[in-house]
Amino acid sequence: MRLLHTSDWHLGRSFHRENLLDSQAAFVDHLIDTVRRERIDVVAVAGDLYDRALPPVEAVRLLDEALGRIRDTGARAVLISGNHDSMVRLSYATGLIDAAGIHLRASLEDVGSPVLIDDEHGPVAFYGIPYLEPEIARPHWGLQRRGHPAVLGHAMDLVRADLASRPAGTRSVVLSHAFVSGGAPSDSERDISVGGASHVPLTVFDGVDYTALGHLHGRQTMAGSVRYSGSPLAYSFSEEHQVKGCWILDIGPSGAVAAEFAPAPVPRPVARISGRIDDLLTADRWEHYTGHWLQVTLTDPLRPAFPMDRLRERFPHALVLDFAPDDRPPADDRSWSRRTADRSDSELVLDFVDWARGAPATGEEHDLVAAALEDVRIGEAAR
C-alpha cells in the first residue's frame, strides 16, 4: 500500500497579515499531482486542517475542493482533527462521508475503531486519534491521571486492544496530533501545555507499524516508524531553513515501511536578515532576498527615520522590523530601583525617549516634558 502523510495545512491562516489562501491552493494542486503521479492509495492528514475552529468560508471551500479532488484520483483519505480544529464541526456527517472514501476522525468515540482499507496483501487498519484536550478526554474515559501522556496513552491502549482482536499480521497505521518528546518546535505552533504536561513519550506509539504525526511544523523522523510531515508552508520566520512537503511511504505485506520525502513548491521563501540600513539597501549580497518575505533587524546605532518605507523600496515583501544596535552598551544587571534611585522624573522620561527613538530628545521636547510634569505636580498638590 502506498501512503502519503501530510499535516498542519492550517487553511485560512495568514502570515503577518499576508493572505496565504492562494499559496495553500497551490499546495493542494501539488498534492493532487503527487497523488496521481506517485499512485497513492491513501492520503493521511494528521490534523490542523484549518487554522481555527471557525474557519473563513474560503478555507472551508478549499478543504471541500481538496477532498473531492483526492477522491477523484481514486485514492482514499483518512483525516483527524488537530488542536486548531473543532472536533464537533469536523465530525459532522462523517458516516455519510465515509461512504465516499473520505474518513474524518474527530471524536473520542471513534478512537480505537479503525478504518480498514484493503490491498492485495489484506487489510491495513488506520486508527485516527484526534488531538486530545486532556481535560475533555480524561473525564470522558474516566481516567485519574491528568495530562497529555495519560489520555494519549489510554487512546493507544484502545488501539492496541482492537489490533490484538484482529487476525495476526494485520498491518496498522496511527494518525495522531501531539507533541512527542524530542521533537523540535518552531514559533508557529500553538502551545498545548494547558491541562498538564504537553510532551508525550515516543514509546506511547509502540505496537503499530507506522505513526503519522501532526502538530510540529518541521518534518522530523522520531523513529523509523514515527514521523512528523510538518506543515506544507512556512508559518513563521523560525521555519526559514525547513524543507516543506510530505512523506510518501510504502507499507509492505509484513508491515515494513519504506519512506521518502517529497518536497512541496515554495510560493515565496521566508528569511531573517540583519544589518545597517544603508548596507541593506545598497550591498549586492542582499539582492537574493528581494523576493522573500522578510524579518529585518536593523543594527544602526541610531534608529533611522522611516525605516520600513525605505526598506520596502528594495524589499517589497519586508513584513517585520526589529532593532538591535550593534554598539549597544552591556546590560545593566542592577535592580530597577537601584538604577533609577538618582534619576529625576524628567530624566527618566527623557531616557525613555532616547531608548524608544534611538536619539536624544530635542530642546523643545525637554520643555514639553518639563511642562507636563509640572502640570502633574500642581494637579496632585491641589487634591
**Confidence at 342, pLDDT banded by 50, 70, 90:** confident
Residue 36 has pLDDT above 90, yes or no: yes
More confidently predicted of 141 and 187: 141
Same domain, 257 and 273: no
Same domain, 275 and 257: no
Amino acid identity, residue 19?
Answer: N
Same domain, 171 and 246: yes
- Mean pLDDT, the chain, as a whole number? 92
Residues 258/283, Cβ–Cβ less than 8 Å? no
More confidently predicted of 68 and 381: 68
Query: pLDDT tens, 7-26?
Result: 999 999 999 999 999 999 99
Which domain-ending residue is among 263, 284, 308? 263
Domain CATH for 38:
3.60.21.10
Residue 104 has pLDDT above 90, yes or no: yes
Same domain, 232 and 361: no
Which domain-ending residue is among 248, 263, 278? 263
Same domain, 210 and 297: no
pLDDT at 346: 85
Collect all residues with Cβ–Cβ distance below 8 Å to 329 and sequence separation of at least 6.
none
Same domain, 322 and 367: no
More confidently predicted of 339 and 288: 288
Same domain, 206 and 281: no
Number of domains in the chain: 3
Same domain, 146 and 36: yes
Residue 186 has pLDDT above 90, yes or no: no
CA dist 31 and 7 (Å) reads: 12
Q: Which residue has the cell 497579515?
A: 17
The secondary structure of the chain, three-state, reads CEEEEECCCCECCEECCEECHHHHHHHHHHHHHHHHHCCCCEEEEECCCECCCCCCHHHHHHHHHHHHHHHHCCCEEEEECCCCCCHHHHCCCHHHHHCCCEEEECCHHHCCCCEEEEECCEEEEEEEECCCCHHHHHHHHCCCCCCHHHHHHHHHHHHHHHHHCCCCCCEEEEEEECEECCCCCCCCCCCCCCCCCCEECHHHHCCCCEEEEECCCCCEEEECCEEECCCCCCCCHHHCCCCCEEEEEEECCCCCEEEEEEECCCCCCEEEEEECHHHHHHCHHHHHHCCCEEEEEECCCCCCCCHHHHHHHHCCCEEEEEECCCCCCCCCCCCHHHHHCCCCHHHHHHHHHHHHHCCCCCHHHHHHHHHHHHHHHHHHHCC
Which domain-ending residue is among 286, 309, 328? 328
Range of the domain at 184: 2-263
Query: pLDDT tens, 262-307?
Result: 999 999 999 999 999 999 999 999 999 999 999 999 999 988 999 9
Residue 195 has pLDDT above 60, yes or no: no
Same domain, 248 and 340: no
Residues 199/185, Cβ–Cβ less than 8 Å? no
Confirm whether pTM is higher than 0.95. no
**Confidence at 235, pLDDT banded by 50, 70, 90:** very high
pLDDT at 158: 98
pLDDT at 232: 97
CA dist 78 and 177 (Å) reads: 13
pLDDT at 196: 42
Same domain, 123 and 224: yes
pLDDT at 335: 64
Same domain, 35 and 116: yes
Same domain, 161 and 36: yes
More confidently predicted of 324 and 192: 324
